[in-house]
A and B are shown apart, each in its own frame.
Chain A
Amino acid sequence: MRPEDILVPTPSGVCCKPGGFHIDPTRPVEKALITHGHSDHARAGHGAVLATKETLDIMRLRYGDKFAGRTQAVAYGETLKLDGVKVSLHPAGHVLGSVQVRVECGGLRIVASGDYKDVADPTCTPFELVPCDVFITEATFGLPVFRHHDAGGEIAKLLHSVALFPERAHLVGAYTLGKAQRVMAMLRAAGHDKPIYIHGAVESITRYYQSCGIDLGQVELVRGANKAELAGHIIICPPSAMSDLWSRRFPDPVAAFASGWMRVRARARQRGVTLPLVISDHADWDGLTATITATGASEVWVTHGQEDALVHWCQTKGLKARPLDIVGYGDEEETDVTTSEAEA
């Protein structure tokens, strides 16, 4: 059996014909396995959705109760039989509830990793290495210029700036699901004990993280605060809010942005960022290449991002590799669709 007989890449996502399901489809389908709650991977309108309990909860928060016909919560490591195909979900370390999907059929093991990172994150279960024959990887940061290093150093840089400019507000742009909460948790781990303020668009997911037992300390809504009291504080907001009318309520704000893209200066400048923080929820170049090697896969499919460089690298290592042209992944980060959810 060839891998393509088990999983077929289509423009709207990877389809498992023998199992009768899609993984992270970008169009409505009968049955979908969803790797995580970011809106480019988790869309509303499928017949049935199988995902971790956390991912289902997050989809419900974002799309309402009727986001799918049926849902089924699946635990990490639990094995399902879907029309003769063995399927299990394993932590991807990307955001709360994120998974890789392991599919086994006719002795062939394929892992679709979704988005993943192989470094510590206090807000989600660590990435699990799953050995396989074919590894489907993302390539958001698939260029050797992306090396993220320890995110703790970036948090220290932020706190240093807060100490140096106590009369200014520090606005930290962070994706509303995952990055925002990770930044808050890391600030707490670094000993920052002042209240952290959030934009209204970050609220529901943040409260959800807290309800899952993730300690984020005192988190307040910006809505209730006056301008003067925001001086010297850290405010977490969706990246697009930084250039919005919304940002006018802060005293002489410092524009920070927590993202792997901040490694490249032009990217930071385009956004008018003055304090770039290289904090990523995706694996960097070293993480991608080390993971590919460690899975033992002899074949690699690259889904989205900088496919060319990663495919080239695989080929130089004697691995069979090909890009998958799936339309629509990576959009959450690029356009940050969630910011229209609430002005606050």
Chain B
Amino acid sequence: MNRFAELLDRLAYEPGRNAKLRLIAEYLRSTPDPERGWALAALTGALTFKHAKGGMIRALIMERTDPALFALSYDYVGDLSETVALMWPADPGRKPKSAPTLSDVVKTLSTLGKAQLPAQIARWLDGLDEIGRWALLKLVTGGLRIGVSARLAKTAAASLGGMQPDEVEILWPGLTPPYLDLFAWLEGRAEKPSSRDPAPFRPPMLAHAAEESDLAGLEAADFMAEWKWDGIRVQAVAGHDEHGELVARLYSRTGEEITRSFPDLVEALRLPCAIDGELLIMREGRIQSFNVLQQRLNRKAVTPKLLAEFPAHLRAYDLLAHGDEDLRGHPFMERRARLEKFITKLNDQRIDLSPLIRFSSWGELTAARADPASAGADAVADAVEGVMLKRRDALYTPGRPKGPWWKWKRDPMIIDAVLMYAQRGHGKRSSYYSDYTFGVWTKGKNGEELVPVGKAYFGFTDEELIQIDRFVRRNTVDRFGPVREVAHEPKLGLVLEVAFEGLQRSTRHKSGIAMRFPRINRLRWDKPPGEADRLETLEHMLQRREHATLAASGGNYG
């Protein structure tokens, strides 16, 4: 447990992806089985046991410390698990001979009754140091939240054997903790574990972003086009297990299983297949915007009410397997034809085809992309992000091969905003002010004032970063920890051209508006801040969108 705790501790502070990979790989390389396997399970979210509640942890510490000292400490530290980890009284008389191993902890937790849990946790805490106790409490209360995705942990594991992460990903659904067979294979001590999984994840094929200039060199007739939906990409897979029972699963594009969050969609998968498609919310035959989908994604508990209010829908755009037949080696045209037949046969409202866009020239496609509704997209404008171009002869190749697939997004919305606050970044950017809060003008109590409307930390070049950083340092008017307030007056300040993909109402922001995917498009050194955009401009953009949404959905949903 101590080594695992040290790893979690280090990961919690480390912002860099490559450094995280190195830390995890080094841990896996130097830790014996089965301990490292349980660690990999913890990092990939593959452990299942009933989590302990905060109240129980609080009760444990209250029995052991002076309540006034606990209150002062909790107030200072601000986090219950951390406070308990730090102030747990180490009594040498109670300390067990050896600290618990992660394997002990995981095995015990999966069998222990609720009544025995508090005493067991106390015994473990007695045997660990501050970092060990912190890690244990994170583990037993659920959710490590240390900025490591399952994909990252698997990538680190794959690197042990010099493998690509997708090779581990393909095997993953068939593996169980503590993954002895996986490590034996990665270390060259055994054959590759066979994937007996009836519904495995298949690494997805990804598209390159296209500019108009990319299209110039391409032949329109070689391509088919679809709408690019603003949902989340998923893989829906079903297959028969050794008992002949149908197993159906839903995966995110990174291979994380999300079956349990979408029972309404999974029950529609009644035939063996592997569908590549977009997860969306469909209400009365209308696709909803990403904002609506996000409301479902944000809820943890899957209740009947949630299922009724936010019905999940799969818009299919590719068929990777049908029955036992792998279709990935066939051209897209063929797969598309197979998909159309399959969807007809499946005959379920919750799964439909992503329609093709008819076009014979790039000009026609450009027009469709600019105005999806008039080009036959049945949905609200917000649900279409742009168009996807797929070569008719493209095989389904995992990764991001250049050429066969293009995503061509709609032009973003753009405003001119004024830089208000800047915050230092992390890692390589740690000495640069690289996170920017910007605002637009509005009439306030004291006349014209700037109100913050968003935050962006990319979109600029390294050279521009240096320029902005210099501007921030020279024009700082106040400091709050790592944040600097930058001069923002009508005649003094920096105007940022900000591009974004959408707007929504927000109670969290003073302006009442939140941007989706904002980034710095251009630096407007030429523009005086007084001429930057006003909040009314954003209000109009938002109202136009809401109006379009209302019209398209027949007025049932706002």
What is A's interface to B at a CB cutoff of 8 Å?
143-147, 149, 157, 164-165, 242-248, 252-253, 255, 263-266, 268-270, 272-276, 306, 308-309, 312-313, 316
Q: A265 and B82: CB pair below 8 A?
A: yes
With a cutoff of 8 Å between Cβ atoms, the chain A residues found around residue B66 in the complex are 312-313, 316
With a cutoff of 8 Å between Cβ atoms, the chain A residues found around residue B26 in the complex are 164
Q: What separation, in Å, do the CA atoms of A309 and B69 have in the docked complex?
A: 6
Contacts A265-B12, A276-B13, A309-B73 given: A247-B22 contact, CB under 8 Å? no
When each residue 33-67 of chain B gets 1 if its CB lies under 8 Å from chain A and 0 otherwise, what string results? 00000000000000000000000000000000110
Smallest Cβ-Cβ distance to B83: which chain A residue: A145
Can you name 17 A-B pairs with beta carbons within 8 Å? A143-B72, A144-B86, A145-B83, A242-B431, A243-B482, A245-B431, A255-B430, A265-B82, A266-B79, A268-B13, A269-B13, A272-B482, A273-B13, A274-B13, A306-B72, A308-B72, A312-B72
Smallest Cβ-Cβ distance to B90: which chain A residue: A147
Contacts A247-B430, A263-B86 given: A144-B12 contact, CB under 8 Å? no
When each residue 73-108 of chain B gets 1 if its CB lies under 8 Å from chain A and 0 otherwise, what string results? 100111100110011011000000000000000000
Contacts A143-B76, A264-B76 given: A313-B69 contact, CB under 8 Å? yes
B424 interfacial by beta-carbon distance below 8 Å: yes
Q: B482 and A270: CB pair below 8 A?
A: yes
Q: A274 and B129: CB pair below 8 A?
A: no
With a cutoff of 8 Å between Cβ atoms, the chain B residues found around residue A270 in the complex are 481-482
Q: B481 and A147: CB pair below 8 A?
A: no
Q: A243 and B424: CB pair below 8 A?
A: yes
With a cutoff of 8 Å between Cβ atoms, the chain A residues found around residue B19 in the complex are 165
Which residue of A165, A269, A276 is within 8 Å of B22 (Cβ)?
Answer: A165
Q: A144 and B13: CB pair below 8 A?
A: no
With a cutoff of 8 Å between Cβ atoms, the chain B residues found around residue A275 in the complex are 10, 13
Q: What separation, in Å, do the CA atoms of A165 and B77 have in the docked complex?
A: 31
B14 interfacial by beta-carbon distance below 8 Å: yes
When each residue 391-432 of chain B gets 1 if its CB lies under 8 Å from chain A and 0 otherwise, what string results? 000000000000000000000000000000000101110110
When each residue 137-164 of chain B gets 1 if its CB lies under 8 Å from chain A and 0 otherwise, what string results? 0000000000000000000000000000
Q: B87 and A144: CB pair below 8 A?
A: yes
Contacts A270-B481, A274-B14, A274-B15 given: A143-B73 contact, CB under 8 Å? yes
Q: B68 and A266: CB pair below 8 A?
A: no
Interface residues of B in 313-336 (CB under 8 A from A): none
B210 interfacial by beta-carbon distance below 8 Å: no
B489 interfacial by beta-carbon distance below 8 Å: no
Q: What separation, in Å, do the CA atoms of A309 and B70 have in the docked complex?
A: 9
Q: What separation, in Å, do the CA atoms of A313 and B129 have in the docked complex?
A: 23
With a cutoff of 8 Å between Cβ atoms, the chain A residues found around residue B90 in the complex are 147
Q: What separation, in Å, do the CA atoms of A248 and B428 have in the docked complex?
A: 9
Q: What separation, in Å, do the CA atoms of A88 and B320 have in the docked complex?
A: 85
B375 interfacial by beta-carbon distance below 8 Å: no
Smallest Cβ-Cβ distance to A312: which chain B residue: B68
Given contacts A145-B76, A164-B22, A243-B424, 5 further A-B contacts (CB under 8 A): A144-B89, A147-B90, A164-B26, A266-B79, A274-B13
Which residue of A147, A248, A309 is within 8 Å of B72 (Cβ)?
Answer: A309
Q: How large is the interface on B (under 10, 10 to 19, 20 to 34, 35 or more residues)?
A: 35 or more
Smallest Cβ-Cβ distance to A286: which chain B residue: B90
Contacts A164-B26, A165-B19, A266-B78 given: A147-B130 contact, CB under 8 Å? yes
Which residue of B12, B69, B82, B129 is within 8 Å of A264 (Cβ)?
Answer: B82
Which residue of B65, B72, B79, B89 is within 8 Å of A265 (Cβ)?
Answer: B79
With a cutoff of 8 Å between Cβ atoms, the chain A residues found around residue B428 in the complex are 252
Smallest Cβ-Cβ distance to B469: which chain A residue: A245
Instruction: Kindly provide the distance from the CB of B144 to the nearest chain A CB, expressed in whole angstroms.
Output: 14
With a cutoff of 8 Å between Cβ atoms, the chain A residues found around residue B13 in the complex are 268-269, 273-276
Q: A248 and B431: CB pair below 8 A?
A: yes
Instruction: Kindly provide the distance from the CB of B134 to the nearest chain A CB, expressed in whole angstroms.
Output: 8
Smallest Cβ-Cβ distance to A149: which chain B residue: B129
Instruction: Kindly provide the distance from the CB of B9 to the nearest chain A CB, expressed in whole angstroms.
Output: 9
Contacts A164-B26, A274-B14, A312-B69 given: A145-B77 contact, CB under 8 Å? yes
Instruction: Kindly provide the distance from the CB of B139 to the nearest chain A CB, expressed in whole angstroms.
Output: 16
Q: What separation, in Å, do the CA atoms of A55 and B210 have in the docked complex?
A: 68
Q: B22 and A145: CB pair below 8 A?
A: no
Instruction: Kindly provide the distance from the CB of B29 to the nearest chain A CB, expressed in whole angstroms.
Output: 11
- Name the residue in B26, B79, B82, B430 with the highest tally of chain A Cβ atoms < 10 Å from its Cβ: B430
With a cutoff of 8 Å between Cβ atoms, the chain A residues found around residue B12 in the complex are 265
When each residue 17-36 of chain B gets 1 if its CB lies under 8 Å from chain A and 0 otherwise, what string results? 00100110010000000000
Q: A266 and B77: CB pair below 8 A?
A: yes
Q: B86 and A243: CB pair below 8 A?
A: no
With a cutoff of 8 Å between Cβ atoms, the chain A residues found around residue B73 in the complex are 143-145, 309
Instruction: Kindly provide the distance from the CB of B475 to the nearest chain A CB, expressed in whole angstroms.
Output: 16
Q: B22 and A243: CB pair below 8 A?
A: no
Q: B14 and A145: CB pair below 8 A?
A: no
Q: What separation, in Å, do the CA atoms of A276 and B13 have in the docked complex?
A: 8
Q: What separation, in Å, do the CA atoms of A191 and B79 have in the docked complex?
A: 37
Q: What separation, in Å, do the CA atoms of A143 and B71 have in the docked complex?
A: 10
With a cutoff of 8 Å between Cβ atoms, the chain B residues found around residue A306 in the complex are 72, 76
With a cutoff of 8 Å between Cβ atoms, the chain A residues found around residue B22 in the complex are 164-165
Closest 10 CB pairs of A and B: A145-B86, A144-B87, A274-B13, A309-B72, A247-B431, A145-B73, A145-B87, A143-B73, A274-B14, A248-B431
Interface residues of B in 472-509 (CB under 8 A from A): 481-482
Q: A164 and B86: CB pair below 8 A?
A: no
Which residue of A145, A157, A243 is within 8 Å of B431 (Cβ)?
Answer: A243
Q: What separation, in Å, do the CA atoms of A157 and B430 have in the docked complex?
A: 22
Contacts A272-B424, A272-B482, A306-B76 given: A144-B69 contact, CB under 8 Å? yes
Smallest Cβ-Cβ distance to A263: which chain B residue: B86
Q: What separation, in Å, do the CA atoms of A14 and B166 have in the docked complex?
A: 68
With a cutoff of 8 Å between Cβ atoms, the chain A residues found around residue B89 in the complex are 144
Instruction: Kindly provide the distance from the CB of B65 to the nearest chain A CB, expressed in whole angstroms.
Output: 7
Q: B430 and A143: CB pair below 8 A?
A: no
Q: What separation, in Å, do the CA atoms of A270 and B483 have in the docked complex?
A: 10
With a cutoff of 8 Å between Cβ atoms, the chain B residues found around residue A143 in the complex are 69, 72-73, 76, 87
Q: What separation, in Å, do the CA atoms of A67 and B266 have in the docked complex?
A: 79
With a cutoff of 8 Å between Cβ atoms, the chain B residues found around residue A244 in the complex are 431
Instruction: Kindly provide the distance from the CB of A246 to the nearest chain B CB, expressed in whole angstroms.
Output: 8
Q: What separation, in Å, do the CA atoms of A146 and B68 have in the docked complex?
A: 16
Q: What separation, in Å, do the CA atoms of A306 and B130 have in the docked complex?
A: 20
With a cutoff of 8 Å between Cβ atoms, the chain B residues found around residue A245 in the complex are 431
Instruction: Kindly provide the distance from the CB of A335 to the nearest chain B CB, expressed in whole angstroms.
Output: 12
Q: What separation, in Å, do the CA atoms of A161 and B515 have in the docked complex?
A: 39
Smallest Cβ-Cβ distance to A309: which chain B residue: B72
Contacts A252-B428, A265-B82, A274-B15 given: A144-B65 contact, CB under 8 Å? yes
Instruction: Kindly provide the distance from the CB of B497 to the nearest chain A CB, expressed in whole angstroms.
Output: 27
Which residue of A164, A268, A276 is within 8 Å of B23 (Cβ)?
Answer: A164
Smallest Cβ-Cβ distance to A256: which chain B residue: B13
Q: What separation, in Å, do the CA atoms of A247 and B19 have in the docked complex?
A: 19
